[in-house]
Structure 1
Amino acid sequence: MARLRVLLPLPLAGTYDYRVPAGMPPPPPGSFVQVPLSGRETLGVVWDGEPDPDLPERRLRDIAAVFDIPPMTESLRRFIEWVAAYTLSPPGAVLRMAMSAPSALDPPAAKAGWRLSEAGLRAKLGQSNARFTENRRRVLDTLEEGEVRGATSLAVAAGVSAGVVRGMAEAGLLEPALLPRADEFPRPDLSRPGPALGPEQQDAAAQLRAAAAARQFGVTLLTGVTGSGKTEVYLEAVAECLKQGRQALVLLPEIALSTQWLERFARRFGAEPALWHSELGGRRRRDTWRAVAEGRVDVLVGARSALFLPFPDLGLIVVDEEHETSFKQEEGVIYNARDMAVVRARLAGAACVLVSATPSLETLTNAEQGRYAAVHLPVRHGGAALPAVEVIDQRVAPPERGRFLSPSLVAAIRDTIAGGQQAMLFLNRRGYAPLTLCRHCGHRMRCPNCTAWLVEHRLQRRLQCHHCGHAEPIPPTCPECNAENSLTPLGPGVERVQEEAAEMFPDARRLVMASDTIPGPAAAAEAARAIEAREVDLIIGTQIVAKGWHFPHLTLVGVVDADLGLAGGDLRAAERTVQLLHQVAGRAGRAEAPGRVLLQSWSPEHPVMQALVSGDLDGFMAAEAGQRRPGHWPPFGRLAALVVSAEDEREADRVARDLGMAAPRGEGMEVLGPAPAPLAMLRGRHRRRLLLKCRREVAVQPILREWLGRVAVPASVKVQVDVDPVSFL
């Protein structure tokens, strides 16, 4: 009997061999199968390669079933293997991400409806001598020959009750039949004209259309100032991909919040794209996965996990806001969706477009070195001007005691609202205050599970850890010294800024946009509607407000703490801060009225502030590159982190020490650590970090495998490998 290798969606080292039972044609590689494993049945995929000829026949088990669904493509199988090898993850763990809707393997249950029987058809055609009531005649007139309708739909269309339909069925005028499967994913209308593009947009769109039409791998970096129409330009590449008969994938950093993007797509193509994100319900998730596999989805817009969907003919991948760190998955299989999108496109023979007004230094370097093509949009669409950026030096003009908004920022907001325009206050910090301490003894409220302070959420009257989710009520007395009413919030969060804004601008209509108040698509859509309808005067938000919104009447952006994010030892702190603040600033003045941006800072001479004021982001990134190049820091070198964690602190220290002693040594490489992680305790586990730094040309994966193989790690200790880390917490 034939043998096959089957990869299971489990964190296992490799494939298992199974036997094809007599009478079953051997399923080809990529087939989805059901197989026995340890007394139960599980799902798997027939994998490439030769089974082990030395495995005894008695140890083999039969494949139980083959699912009636298109096999996983060879390019997706190669992608799974590539991601597993690059991230040092078990291939089965990566396969699990590609089989995230296992119920989709079963065909959808057929639904029953009603159609005209022979007797009903004769009655409809007037060939029956029987007399019918007016209600029954309406039902006969509503149903066409061969048409199948559900009972409720038929009753509503005919304007009768469900009892009339049941009575006609009992009388033999209607007979049961299966309803045809509704097409839940309408096709984009490629005949619709796109929006009018300016000269620069037309040139950029032509280059992207050519890349999509080439039907081969290539990467293009699309940059442009905020509001320059980058979305409209890359939608032209999407249209060209669909004309080629292939599928397109667009990755967004916050798909659940991208209401305006979806509206823009629907205006362009007359239909909404398929969606893939964590907010999808189980049924919609199942239907979408199967529709993608069967080629019934032309365009899908999704979060990073959409990369692992089973597209049969992927022709274009767009990564919008490619610089966003939310494209990096930090748990389980640790990968950066931006980088993996390039790999998926290469293996699928597809075009890849990376889009950003503030591209990452890694992507910029690849473009400068010729690995990526580059297209730039230098001006805003429709003649809108870029906003003027100013720094408020808080050393010279600080806020009043106990407040966080400087007098000049308050005055600017008043003038803006009085002029009938909208203003925004930005602070990338949720809650009311980041720290609560006792005025009497100095005790600080911290998370029992993490090395983190508890954030006060005054509206919910609780303290919460934003790392593990631990929450507790605000105590009436200090847990340390029992002093009553001594707990004091320090520092501002958006709730505290909202409280101050209510005092300073009592007549202004305010809206807070943070993950606590905008939890999903419905809330995001309502917020966008209210702002566009000018039902809001002052928006107060966290980084949510930086993600691609277009508010035509927003002319002033005030950044409450522009220095936030610059502290600490993060390699990319300055780069991320300039990206975030530039994106936030780009919300202002996107229509006829000019925009203005005010940055409150204690360090106005900082290169980040100077770059934002001058608008010289290219010069800033060049200076960043100049600082990193001599030390071979990314993108001019390679990094890989090992994070050791255990519930027992001594075990974490021992394994970290052993890894440090076994660290690789050689030319062009250096190991830093072990040392306690900045979050030395997370979710109840003690954490230690080691960092491998190599020259660019060094392959880190073989080094990591050999390094990890030298140290015995007990089951109670976890060693997490993060190749190309973006977070150093």
Structure 2
Amino acid sequence: MECHLKKESGNDEAKPLEKSESLKASAVLIAEVVLKIPVFRYFDYTVPEKLLNVITIGHMVRVPFSGRFGVVGFVVGLREATVEDSTRKLKQIRDFVDAAPLEEGIMELSAWMAERYVCPQGMVLDAITPAPVKRSSVRRAVSSSVVRLMDNEAFSVLLQSIPQAHRARRRLAEVLMSDESQSVDCAVSNASVARSALQWFVEKGVIEIRHEKISRYNPPLPSDESSDIPLPTPHQARALETIRGALDEGLHRVFLIHGITGSGKTEVYLQSISMVLARGRNALVLVPEIALTPQMIRGFRRRFGDLVAVLHSHLSDGERMDEWDRLRTGEARIAVGARSAVFAPLPNLGLIIVDEEHENSYKQARTPAYNAKDVARFRISRDQGLLILGSATPSVEDYHASINGEFELIALPDRVGGKPLPPVRMVDMREEFKAGNYSLFSRVLKASIERELGRGGKVILLLNRRGHSSYVFCRNCGEPIRCQHCDVTMKYHLNSKLLKCHYCDCQRTSPRQCPACNSQFIKYFGAGTQKVVSEAEKLFGNAGILRMDADTTGTKEAHDRILQAFENGPYGILVGTQMVAKGLDIHKVSLVGILSGDLALNLPDFRAGERTFQLVTQVAGRAGRGEMAGEVILQTYQPENPVLMAASNHDFNVFYDMELPQRERHFLPPFSSLVRLVFSGSDEPSTRELSFKLFRALNEAMDAHWKEASRGGGECFGNGSCSPPKVKFIGPEEAPVARIREKYRWHLLVAIDDLGFFSDLLRNVMSSSREFSDTSRITIDVEPQNLL
């Protein structure tokens, strides 16, 4: 069952125009354009004469649409006009948004994503293209006049010959001598002379003036300290030999590197990239946003210099534009970035690396809800390159694929230098409570912090919840303070003294009396990172305490400032959310304290156990990476929980063997594919009814298709079988978070063993009704990572 883009109207027999074909001067050219709107169709526009000889598939254009001018669209097809077209009142393309079209590979990728994620191609292309490229107001990198010394020795001799009376010329000479390459504006400004003063030096042949492009993202290259390439460990050497052999074969392959924390996965990445560059191909490295630390970027730039372009959310529009252009022109050959960097304009890709591949941040929450891992796999397969997935705690689905032979497993079971993994000590907080200790810190953790600080170590404390108090409620009537727009409690933030909703960002002052019963007995319960800092300052105030969470890292370079201060400054304790669990390699960290290891265990999500295991294992791996031995204290109210027991032993295989049978029993990934449909609306009854309408329509479409296939009159299914795929519906039912931003929410989960069939069926059903195609009310999430 296939579903293709529909056209607005016209002759279905119209012949597409191939790229190699030239257009007759008298012919009218029709461009098929997709827009960022929730319809599975393209729209026909005529091409103006000024664009006839330059327009091609992939161009971003401005077109009139629905009474608006300058709507951004993407050309997905070109053809000569037919007789029927002459009877239609077609509108004309206004102009290009960007003179450079999207490359052919990106256009193919967008078509694949539209199919897989059941999303209109125009919305996919809009997501793929960076915002600065779509906005003509963001200018490209500017050229600047740069002055360079031609010969240092000759310049020194010339400087000595300049008479003392020529003060301005001597000042300029000294400024030029201080920096071999600098902008003309800086040189003349620092010397307090006119630009014409440079001409004397040009005529003497000791300087030259060039026009060079100045990038707005231009961090200094790291010093060459520790730039020597380390000798690989035996396991690293075997991994690199396997990767080298795969590159020599020139075929698409997928590797899963399962390496414990501190096993040297990053060095394997770096040396693999070197091999790819030596073969004349390019590389892309994806890292979760929270792990994309300046420390990691410095490591790549130290090895590869200006060949590295960085793409992440903290860059300004201008900086992102410049990095995008450096990749597009070939000036940079390695892209390092977060989720959206998977769309970087890198031709001839030989390698894509997905670090911390288990991270759910690779999944985009909004439409199109793509997973960067899946996109990376499609993209690298097209270029016949290698995909490397790396993690100390791989996802159950990807580890299962490697066990079954779909991926190739590479193990790095030892830490570099033979260092042991830190022992994990579990503390039963129920016993602490019985002993009269009501603090966030168990007696064992408090004593361990004091000991490590005393011997010059550093401490990381994890609590994966920001704010001060997790909820506020009335002790008289028991009613919590809820967000007025969402069905969740509000969190108290001490610094601002405000209650905040972490779903819609609404905030309000903390009430003096209960809104429900007017009682003044308001109590603050639970803890977040702010409360941890507050209590730690009372106990260890002289240690110096830093906090790293979404509230402290919102500004540019905030991550770097905090981590540099912790690593090199007079700070002994870093408190944080999951941000402190990944990408940190600070050798003085000798103790990790996990304040509430069971915080996420009971969430209504089948991956709750897996994510708890991953978080505990990852943050534990921050300890003992240097000369000082490491230790981990895991506080919990469930010390007998098998997930925590496996994590405390750093034993992934025990966790995997325990988790897999439960997934199979309940027909969950990797034994099925999941699709989640989320329905939202300002009216709860109509939202509920919409969910049941689509549920019934899907069942009816399935029944009709199966009956047709059983009679031999229809197509077989995507799995190649003419017997129906196994399918399981869960819902429709109210979503666990039933209201967000004043929108009521219902959802429907579909587990199926033939995702291609169901995606086509869903697309056809949604295209059949304007009510179903409204993406403001129905969100499609293929292989969801969040079920709340």
TM norm. shorter chain > 0.5 = yes
Aligned residue number for residue 462 of structure 1: 498
Q: Quickly say closer, same or farther: Cα 1:563–1:271, change in 2 above 3 A.
A: same
Q: Which moved more, 1:582-591 or 1:494-503?
A: 494-503
Matched, 1:155 2:214: no
Aligned residue number for residue 83 of structure 1: 113
Structure 2: distance between partners of 1:23 and 1:569: 58
Structure 2: distance between partners of 1:314 and 1:460: 48
Cα pair 2:98 2:134 within 8 Å, conserved: no
Partner deviation per Cα, 1:668-706 (whole Å, 9 max, x = no partner):
112221111011001110000111111257632023224
Partner deviation per Cα, 1:121-172 (whole Å, 9 max, x = no partner):
xxxx9xxxxxx9552577699999xx9985423315xx6214x3368899x9
Q: Quickly say closer, same or farther: Cα 1:52–1:568, change in 2 above 3 A.
A: farther
Structure 1: distance between partners of 2:516 and 2:620: 43
Q: Quickly say closer, same or farther: Cα 1:705–1:529, change in 2 above 3 A.
A: same
Aligned residue number for residue 784 of structure 2: 725
Structure 2: distance between partners of 1:7 and 1:530: 51
Structure 2: distance between partners of 1:468 and 1:167: 59
Q: Quickly say closer, same or farther: Cα 1:697–1:31, change in 2 above 3 A.
A: closer
Q: CA deviation at 1:294?
A: 1.7
Q: CA deviation at 1:557?
A: 1.3
Q: Secondary structure at the match of 1:436?
A: strand
Q: Quickly say closer, same or farther: Cα 1:710–1:672, change in 2 above 3 A.
A: farther
Match of 2:761 among 703, 716, 727: 703
Q: CA deviation at 1:291?
A: 2.1
Aligned residue number for residue 239 of structure 1: 274
Q: Quickly say closer, same or farther: Cα 1:160–1:59, change in 2 above 3 A.
A: same
Q: Secondary structure at the match of 2:63?
A: strand
Q: Which moved more, 1:242-251 or 1:467-476?
A: 242-251
Partner deviation per Cα, 1:443-490 (whole Å, 9 max, x = no partner):
211111111110010121000011110111112222223333x22111
Equivalent AA in structure 2 for residue 34 of structure 1: V
Cα pair 1:276 1:302 within 8 Å, conserved: yes
Match of 2:668 among 625, 630, 633: 633
Partner deviation per Cα, 1:331-356 (whole Å, 9 max, x = no partner):
12111111221112112332211111
Cα pair 1:255 1:277 within 8 Å, conserved: no
Q: CA deviation at 1:624?
A: 0.9
Aligned residue number for residue 99 of structure 1: 129
Match of 2:615 among 557, 568, 580: 580
Structure 2: distance between partners of 1:716 and 1:94: 13
Equivalent AA in structure 1 for residue 69 of structure 2: R
Q: Secondary structure at the match of 1:599?
A: strand
Q: Quickly say closer, same or farther: Cα 1:69–1:219, change in 2 above 3 A.
A: farther
Partner deviation per Cα, 1:649-682 (whole Å, 9 max, x = no partner):
1210221222233342565112221111011001
Structure 1: distance between partners of 2:756 and 2:197: 77
What is the correspondence of 1:387-402 to structure 2 with a 5 Å cutoff?
A: 387-398=422-433, 400-402=436-438
Partner deviation per Cα, 1:108-128 (whole Å, 9 max, x = no partner):
475464999xxxxxxxx9xxx
Q: Secondary structure at the match of 1:662?
A: helix
Aligned residue number for residue 542 of structure 1: 577
TM-score by length of 2: 0.83
Q: CA deviation at 1:272?
A: 7.5
Partner deviation per Cα, 1:206-230 (whole Å, 9 max, x = no partner):
2234434544422111111100110
Structure 1: distance between partners of 2:775 and 2:369: 20
Q: CA deviation at 1:51?
A: 6.5
Q: Secondary structure at the match of 1:660?
A: helix
Q: Secondary structure at the match of 2:505?
A: coil
Equivalent AA in structure 1 for residue 362 of structure 2: F
TM-score by length of 1: 0.89
What is the correspondence of 1:335-414 to structure 2 with a 5 Å cutoff?
A: 335-398=370-433, 400-414=436-450
Equivalent AA in structure 1 for residue 46 of structure 2: R
Aligned residue number for residue 662 of structure 1: 697
Q: Secondary structure at the match of 1:674?
A: strand
Match of 1:221 among 253, 256, 261: 256
Aligned residue number for residue 708 of structure 2: none
Q: Quickly say closer, same or farther: Cα 1:625–1:373, change in 2 above 3 A.
A: same
Q: Secondary structure at the match of 1:387?
A: coil
Aligned residue number for residue 212 of structure 2: 180
CA RMSD of aligned residues (A): 3.5
Partner deviation per Cα, 1:505-538 (whole Å, 9 max, x = no partner):
2332222221212335522212222222252222
Match of 1:3 among 19, 29, 35: 29
Q: Quickly say closer, same or farther: Cα 1:420–1:134, change in 2 above 3 A.
A: closer
Equivalent AA in structure 1 for residue 185 of structure 2: T
Structure 2: distance between partners of 1:67 and 1:408: 62
Structure 2: distance between partners of 1:70 and 1:461: 50
Aligned residue number for residue 465 of structure 2: 429
Q: Quickly say closer, same or farther: Cα 1:622–1:28, change in 2 above 3 A.
A: farther
Match of 2:369 among 305, 327, 334: 334
Match of 1:325 among 351, 354, 360: 360
Equivalent AA in structure 2 for residue 424 of structure 1: I
Cα pair 1:223 1:357 within 8 Å, conserved: yes
Cα pair 1:530 1:536 within 8 Å, conserved: yes
Percent identity for Structure 1 against Structure 2: 33
Q: Quickly say closer, same or farther: Cα 1:450–1:675, change in 2 above 3 A.
A: same
Aligned residue number for residue 42 of structure 2: 15
Structure 2: distance between partners of 1:229 and 1:8: 45
Cα pair 1:426 1:540 within 8 Å, conserved: yes
Q: CA deviation at 1:43?
A: 4.5
Matched, 1:682 2:711: no
Cα pair 1:78 1:347 within 8 Å, conserved: no
Q: Quickly say closer, same or farther: Cα 1:51–1:372, change in 2 above 3 A.
A: farther
Q: Quickly say closer, same or farther: Cα 1:373–1:406, change in 2 above 3 A.
A: same
Aligned residue number for residue 121 of structure 1: none
Equivalent AA in structure 1 for residue 506 of structure 2: H
Structure 1: distance between partners of 2:775 and 2:284: 40
Q: Which moved more, 1:471-480 or 1:99-108?
A: 99-108
Structure 1: distance between partners of 2:294 and 2:744: 40
Q: Which moved more, 1:313-322 or 1:652-661?
A: 652-661
Q: CA deviation at 1:318?
A: 0.9
Aligned residue number for residue 276 of structure 1: 311
Q: Quickly say closer, same or farther: Cα 1:695–1:277, change in 2 above 3 A.
A: same
Aligned residue number for residue 128 of structure 1: none
Q: Which moved more, 1:282-291 or 1:718-727?
A: 282-291
Structure 2: distance between partners of 1:324 and 1:669: 27
Count of residues in correspondence between the two structures: 710
Q: CA deviation at 1:312?
A: 2.6
Q: Which moved more, 1:399-408 or 1:371-380?
A: 399-408
Matched, 1:47 2:64: no
Partner deviation per Cα, 1:633-652 (whole Å, 9 max, x = no partner):
10111111111100111210
Q: Quickly say closer, same or farther: Cα 1:539–1:329, change in 2 above 3 A.
A: same
Q: Secondary structure at the match of 1:59?
A: coil
Equivalent AA in structure 1 for residue 777 of structure 2: K
Structure 2: distance between partners of 1:534 and 1:168: 44
Cα pair 1:201 1:233 within 8 Å, conserved: yes
Aligned residue number for residue 479 of structure 1: 515
Q: Secondary structure at the match of 2:735?
A: strand
